[in-house]
Amino acid sequence: MKPLIIANWKCNPETLKEAQELFNGIKKDIENKNVVICPPTIFLSSLICEGIKFGAQNCFSENKGAYTGEISPQMIKSIGCEYVIIGHSERRIIFNESNVDVSNKVIKAQQSGLIPIVCIGESKDQNTFEIIEEQIKDIDKDVLIAYEPLWAIGTGENASIEKVKEVRDFLKERKVLYGGSVNSQNAKDYLEITDGLLIGGASLNNEEFLKIIKTAY
């Protein structure tokens, strides 16, 4: 099985036109590959097409109802997405998402037929294993886990291979991806010890992103 390469565009780019340009620049190269594009939800419907896997960056924990502004797993599934990122550290920190929120979202996403990718990871002053134990304790064993230490996200300070191996071993039979300052120089090392990568900044640069994909294929 080829590793899973996930592009998390986060809240980028600013316009639909730019999103289409970014996507059109890689479309041919990622067709029928184990690559998932997670653009902002508002752009999904305009980008979704045959032969390419898509995911959302978040979802709500209910499928419908009086929840102004929320987007449900069933809605995401119905437009043709296969995946959803849940509990990214930016959501946990900026939008106060708790482990309970994450667990509720995962349950609903799975019921809706989406494949959740749950992000876990510690800050510099936290104990890695205490934190991730808490973060995964109510998460189904089949859910993909992305280990993204907070200090490695967008900093250029990627985690050591030894550290990622320790986390992978701690997570035992779970499927584990790594995320945090992945680039075309370090991708190969992580791919040797994980089930794939969750890529932020480098996924907004087509040349760099395609180099990473070439490493995996």
Question: Catalytic residues, which ones?
Answer: 88, 148
What gap in Å lies between CA 15 and CA 172, rounded to an integer?
41
Q: Which tokens belong to 61?
A: 């924990």
CB of 8 to ligand 13P, least distance (A): 4
CB of 143 to ligand 13P, least distance (A): 16
**Nearest CB to ligand 13P, comparing residues 8 and 72:** 8
What gap in Å lies between CA 46 and CA 80, rounded to an integer?
11
Q: Which residues bind ligand 13P (CB under 6 A)?
A: 8, 88, 148, 153-154, 179-182, 198-202
What gap in Å lies between CA 132 and CA 198, rounded to an integer?
17
**Nearest CB to ligand 13P, comparing residues 8 and 74:** 8
- Contact indicator for 132, 122 with CB cutoff of 8 Å: yes
Minimal CA–CA distance to 210: which of 199, 99, 96? 199
What gap in Å lies between CA 17 and CA 100, rounded to an integer?
37
CB of 133 to ligand 13P, least distance (A): 21
Minimal CA–CA distance to 76: which of 63, 91, 86, 90? 63
**Nearest CB to ligand 13P, comparing residues 74 and 203:** 203
- Contact indicator for 83, 34 with CB cutoff of 8 Å: no
**Nearest CB to ligand 13P, comparing residues 74 and 152:** 152
CB of 36 to ligand 13P, least distance (A): 12
Burial of residue 216 (number of CB atoms within 10 Å: 0-12, 13-18, 19+): middle
**Nearest CB to ligand 13P, comparing residues 74 and 132:** 132
CB of 149 to ligand 13P, least distance (A): 10
Q: Which amino acid makes up residue 10?
A: K
Residue nearest ligand 13P by beta-carbon distance: 200
The DSSP letter of residue 140 is -
